[in-house]
Structure 1
Amino acid sequence: LKKALMQNMFADNAFYPNLRFKGFVYKWKQYKLNDLGYTFSGLSGKSKKDFGHGKAQYVTYMNVFSNPIANLEMTEHIEIDNKQNSVKYNDIFFTTSSETPEEVGMSSIWLGKETNTYLNSFCFGFRLTKRIDSYYIAFMLRSPSFRRKMMVLAQGISRFNISKNKVMNIKILLPKISEQKRVGITIKKVDNTVKLQVKFINKIKKFRKFLLQNMFI
């Protein structure tokens, strides 16, 4: 169900989505990402000894890679450094490299409000200047149509990289904010259900493993 929603609830080149809520009939508008905000860099000028301690935190690469909506607890410690770019609520992060073109440029949105939080050096940030629903943009940037556009930008042989400037030239389609909210919250509810089911399945698997290890002589 989630896969079907991700494939059909975001408009592509036709300016209309395949699946739509009743009452929404207007054409979606096209924007370049560059029209919707500006980029900022992750941590810079750091060495290995700077990590693992301190009262600040940074968002890890795997957090961005794994979560359309960043896990607020998936951070690491670092010292406070006012020269670094602090992340803000609703910032979007993109990974800049990966081992395969299919996994390059993965995105995640930050919905935390903590201070002294930075972004890892293997990602770049994107700060919105236009009002866009958080859940909508989070899942739209992970939709098959957007991922295809991102994969085209992958460059490399043994490891693939993307150009920040080229990413900002990608065109996306946006409905009015009211439709964004309907789409975003719908997919978020389905996503929550998926996560709960995965947790339940993992618990059953652990219990099964426990039984297999202890019920036979």
Structure 2
Amino acid sequence: MFPTQFTSTSFTWERKKLGDVAEKVIQKNNNNAFKNVLTNSAEYGIISQRDFFERNIANKNNISTYYIVQNDDFVYNPRISNLAPYGPINRNKTGYTGIISPLYYVFRVLNISTAFIEWYFKTTCWHKFMYQHGDSGARSDRFSIKDNELKKLPADDMEQEKIAKTLTSLDNTLQLHEDHLQFLHSFKSFLLQKMFFDNDIPPLLRFNKFTEKWNQCRLNDHTIVTMGQSPNSKNYTNNQTGKILVQGNADLYKNKVLKRVFTTEVTKTAVKNDILISVRAPVGDIARNQYESVVIGRGIASIKGNDFLYYQLEKMKNNGFWNKYIAGSTFESITGKDLKNTKIYTTISDEERKIGNIFSSLTKIIQLQEHKIDSLKKLKQFLLQNMFI
């Protein structure tokens, strides 16, 4: 099967082998000229061994046999994992020359786009070859393949510059969006700290014309709190005609209820727009119920409340408010009494509405940004699967 091609191009893909476009690096670290030991991680790529393990693993008296890895050299690590079922092949993008264990295979590409080869090894196109020409080795955590076989690995060579530029541009765009998402989360955390009481310190940011003193009260005196009660497990079902069961934190996802388990027995319920809070490990996670009615188990409590209360509870969770109730407990949980007696702050309705609107809008912006990132990741995965043979 041939890959998706760019418009106006009709190249015939030329089947090449790794040995045709790369050479094995065999230069040893004679006289210990280089000290910076590298490692090749499936998750993080090629990084300093000290940064990865937070300490030096290699014996400084035994690094003369290590291979020298220049910037843009590639390293194959035969250690297998869920992220790299045949071991990761990554490019040294540290910007400096380092050394790596002789257990790794180091190679340098010639007369071919380095970025193209880097992207090629981010796909699974080469996995079939590894499966057919290697074995799992004597150790279950390592893949074994002879050097001569590895040199036969297909490394196709057409449209390489366009493919590399497209994927690199997409990756840069994805990184920009992820950086912006991180900024939005940080900005929201900043506002949560400044627009609500912080312990006994009044909010430092307030809207103009609001000068009224905020009041403190028990949660149960301000609104209705309902502790969940689990149905009998024999009444659990996968049939979606049953009631949605919210048992605990696993059923809360991105501020909403995750429809996962159903029940034919109705115990305690929460209605649409109720705040749901986890009262078992991890305590304090919250969501808005978007369904007309759900059954809540003993790991959940429901709270009637506006957005002002919702984001006040989110701020309390972020600040570790619930830790004082669960310290020293074998199983992290809070009681109904603890929850109902929790002290919260209130203000006049207009100010509560404005504060709630700010955080509701910001949360929607964050969700849209997350959706953009998910879409970009799906596009990247599609291109990786369809732009290589």
Q: Which residue number corresponds to residue 274 of structure 2? A: 91
Q: Which residue number corresponds to residue 384 of structure 2? A: 212
Which of 71, 74, 82 is the matching residue for 2:259? 74
Structure 2 length as normaliser, TM-score? 0.46
Structure 1 or 2: more strand by fraction: 1
Give the deviation of 1:91 after TM superposition.
3.0
Q: 1:24 to 1:192 in 2, by over 3 A?
A: same
Give the deviation of 1:176 after TM superposition.
0.8
Residues of 2 paired with 1:89 and 1:210: CA distance? Answer: 37
Count of aligned pairs between the two proteins? 202
Q: Which residue number corresponds to residue 6 of structure 1? A: 192
Work out whether residues 135 and 185 of structure 1, in 8 Å CA contact, stay in contact via their aligned partners in 2: yes
Query: Which sections of structure 2, spanning at least 5 residues, go unmatched?
Result: 1-186
Alignment of 1:17-32 (within 5 A): 17-32=203-218
Give the deviation of 1:87 after TM superposition.
1.8
Q: Does 1:175 find its partner at 2:342?
A: no
1:67-117 deviations in Å (ceiling 9; x for gaps): 44x34x636432254xx223234433221221xxxx3232334354x25x3
Q: 1:118 to 1:4 in 2, by over 3 A?
A: same
Matched AA of 1:33? L
Matched AA of 1:206? K
Name which of structure 1's ranges 183-192 and 54-63 shifts more when overlaid on structure 2: 54-63
Work out whether residues 6 and 144 of structure 1, in 8 Å CA contact, stay in contact via their aligned partners in 2: no
1:36-67 deviations in Å (ceiling 9; x for gaps): 23433324341145322344333353466434
Work out whether residues 273 and 290 of structure 2, in 8 Å CA contact, stay in contact via their aligned partners in 1: yes
Q: Which residue number corresponds to residue 104 of structure 1? A: 283
Name which of structure 1's ranges 165-174 and 45-54 shifts more when overlaid on structure 2: 45-54
Q: C-alpha root-mean-square deviation of aligned residues, in Å?
A: 2.7
Matched AA of 1:95? S
Q: Does 1:135 find its partner at 2:307?
A: yes
Q: Which residue number corresponds to residue 81 of structure 2? A: none
Q: Which residue number corresponds to residue 120 of structure 1? A: 297
1:144-184 deviations in Å (ceiling 9; x for gaps): 47743212111456642222211222211111111010000
Residues of 2 paired with 1:105 and 1:145: CA distance? Answer: 5
Q: Does 1:199 find its partner at 2:371?
A: yes
Q: 1:183 to 1:59 in 2, by over 3 A?
A: same
Residues of 1 paired with 2:190 and 2:323: CA distance? Answer: 20
Residues of 1 paired with 2:205 and 2:196: CA distance? Answer: 8
Which has the greater radius of gyration? 2
Report which structure shows greater RCO (CA 8 Å, sep ≥6): 1
Residues of 2 paired with 1:86 and 1:179: CA distance? Answer: 30
Residues of 1 paired with 2:344 and 2:369: CA distance? Answer: 32
Work out whether residues 246 and 300 of structure 2, in 8 Å CA contact, stay in contact via their aligned partners in 1: no
Work out whether residues 229 and 298 of structure 2, in 8 Å CA contact, stay in contact via their aligned partners in 1: yes
Q: 1:142 to 1:182 in 2, by over 3 A?
A: same
Structure 1 length as normaliser, TM-score? 0.78
Residues of 2 paired with 1:118 and 1:18: CA distance? Answer: 39
Q: 1:79 to 1:204 in 2, by over 3 A?
A: same
Residues of 2 paired with 1:30 and 1:146: CA distance? Answer: 20
Give the deviation of 1:201 after TM superposition.
0.8
Q: 1:74 to 1:147 in 2, by over 3 A?
A: farther
Give the deviation of 1:187 after TM superposition.
0.7
Q: Which residue number corresponds to residue 44 of structure 1? A: 230
Q: 1:159 to 1:213 in 2, by over 3 A?
A: farther
Residues of 1 paired with 2:251 and 2:209: CA distance? Answer: 35
Name which of structure 1's ranges 205-214 and 187-196 shifts more when overlaid on structure 2: 205-214
